[in-house]
Amino acid sequence: MLEDRSCLVSRDYPMTYEREGNWHMNYRLENVEAQQSKRPLETDEDEEALTRKVSKLSGDPIDTIDTELSIGGILMNSDQSDSKQQTSDDSDSSSLISYIGRDNSLSCLIRCSRADYGSIASLNQSFRSIIKSGELYKLRRQSGVIEHWVYFSCQLLEWEAFDPTRRRWMHLPRLNPNECFLFGDKESLAVGTELLLFGRELMSYVIYRYSLLTNTWTSGMSMNAPRCLFGSASLGEIAILAGGCDSNGNILDSAELYNSETGTWTTLPSMKKPRKMCSGVFMEGKFYVIGGIGGTDSQLLTCGEEYNLETGIWTEIPNMSPVRTGEARGVDTPATSEAPPLIAVVNNELYAADHADMEVRKYDKNNKSWITIGRLPERADSMYGWGLAFRACGDRLIVIGGPRNSGEGFIEVNSWVPREGPPQWDLLGRKRSSSFVYNCAVMGC
């Protein structure tokens, strides 16, 4: 990335933190009381030294720093900073970096890590506007520059993000929903630069939308046919949601496509079979809905369905669900007690987490069967699959979960890159948590 230029910080460059304007990154180090007389961290060298100190005090095996995501502070409340930087803004409003021109400036910016965009936005109004507009993320997608962050919730109103490259935790703004929202089923989905959280309030379904561009939660959006317990997946700026239940508990065979750039919902042709508690993935440009529960007797479905976006046709695929049925399950647990299939796609290969046997399985497309290829991380605990997140994150698979005892425990983020061989899990991050993972989504932008 333009290694001979010094005008911008590339993604391989250490990130610095500055307190200019309203931009800030608040560090919260567990079990360490920061003295007020000490200056804020300014370089990665300072950060690493302090992190090592924290690690020794806490005994944690992974050096992590918990940060508060506050890009919205600079993007939304920047009037004072704007007035102070009026002179510099006027000089480069059209070119961003006047010495190299606007096009080259954008080429540099899309290759910077999005973790640096908050600091870049603090430079002046021009940088702030281009980042807030979302144009950079569109250009990144067109150029194939994608970074994946994991978003998850272990508390009903609190969401966190984890950057697997820099191994940092970040807090999102607290969600403030109707009290009834807390007690119903919830699904989450990341699409484009948005995180969608689906749930139910007193009389109707509701969707809360978190925007990466403004760092805020909003509500008011609605699907054509509101639902819960559906299967979903995203591909760039679009997402497909299939199946689920309506407000009367009827299992649905309908599906909808959401475009995050236009904010519109489009009703798709109906599936072959109604299903709820199913899972969805994109693979080779097609959408797949897999497993779930269907029929009047709420039986497990072993089939999947493929949706071709070009032809608009659904095709049923037998035995595509990795969930074992009947005697093979070895348990008498009702089908509705188990989590939807834990599946993910990396490099157009479909993988599944078998929570019962703690195994990783891979789908053989030619033989239409599942084969066991290795083990899950040893501490990936769950309750019939609930509380365990299994997600694709770029070219790697991510497992989020951890051991808990009497209300105390840890959340661990483990990673495996399938192209490097059989499953060998790398512990990326670890933090204390008194609860399991309620919802999880991966945003690539």
DSSP assignment of 27-87 equals EE-TT----TTSPPP-SHHHHHHHHHHHHHHH--SS---EEE--HHHHHHS-HHHHHHTHH
> What CA–CA distance (Å, rounded) separates 315 from 94?
50
Q: Which of 230 and 84 is assigned the larger pLDDT?
A: 230
Token match 């379904």: residue? 205
Q: What is the reported pLDDT for 143?
A: 92
CA distance 310 to 24: 45
Structure tokens at 234: 């995203």
pLDDT(315) > 60:
yes
More confident residue, 147 or 408: 147
pLDDT at residue 407, as a whole number:
58
pLDDT of residue 360: 96
Q: What's CA 169's distance to the chain center, in Å?
A: 13
Q: In the prediction, which pLDDT does 251 show?
A: 95
Confidence of residue 342 (pLDDT cuts 50, 70, 90): very high
**Terminal CA-CA length for the chain:** 18
Higher pLDDT residue, 27 or 404?
404
pLDDT of residue 414: 95
pLDDT of residue 91: 42
In sequence order, the 6+-apart residues with CB closer than 8 A to the CB of 386 are 339, 436
* Statement: residue 274 has pLDDT above 80: yes
**What pLDDT score was predicted for residue 67?**
45
Phi and psi angles of residue 99, each rounded to the nearest 5 degrees, phi first? -70, -25
d(CA 51, CA 445): 28
What Rg, from alpha-carbon coordinates, does the chain have? 23
Report whether pLDDT(389) > 60.
Answer: yes
Whether 386 has a pLDDT exceeding 70, the answer reads yes
pLDDT in the model for residue 155: 83
Mean pLDDT over 18-29 rounds to: 34
- Reply yes or no on whether the pLDDT at 345 is more than 50: yes
pLDDT value of position 378: 82
- Of 159-173, 280-294, 369-383, the range with the lowest mean pLDDT is 369-383
- On average, the pLDDT of the chain sits at 79
Domain ranges of the chain: 26-143, 342-445
Span 159-182, mean pLDDT? Answer: 90
* Residue, of 338 and 76, whose pLDDT is higher: 338
**Which pTM does this prediction carry?**
0.80
Q: Is the pLDDT of residue 303 over 80?
A: yes
d(CA 119, CA 23): 7
Contact, 441 vs 162, CB < 8 A? no
Q: What percent of the chain has pLDDT over 90?
A: 54
* Pick from 175, 151, 28, 55: nearest CA to 400: 151
pLDDT of residue 189: 96
- Calculate the alpha carbon distances from 318 to 156, 161, 162, 296, 370 in Å: 36, 36, 36, 20, 12
Is a pLDDT exceeding 90 seen at residue 281?
yes
Q: Residue 267: which of 241, 233, 244, 293 has the closest Cα?
A: 241
What does DSSP say about strands 293-294 and 216-221: parallel, antiparallel, or unpaired?
A: unpaired
Is the Cβ–Cβ distance between 399 and 389 less than 8 Å?
yes
* Dihedral sign, Cα of residue 146, residue 153, residue 47, residue 24: positive
List of residues 6+ apart from 263 with CB closer than 8 A: 221
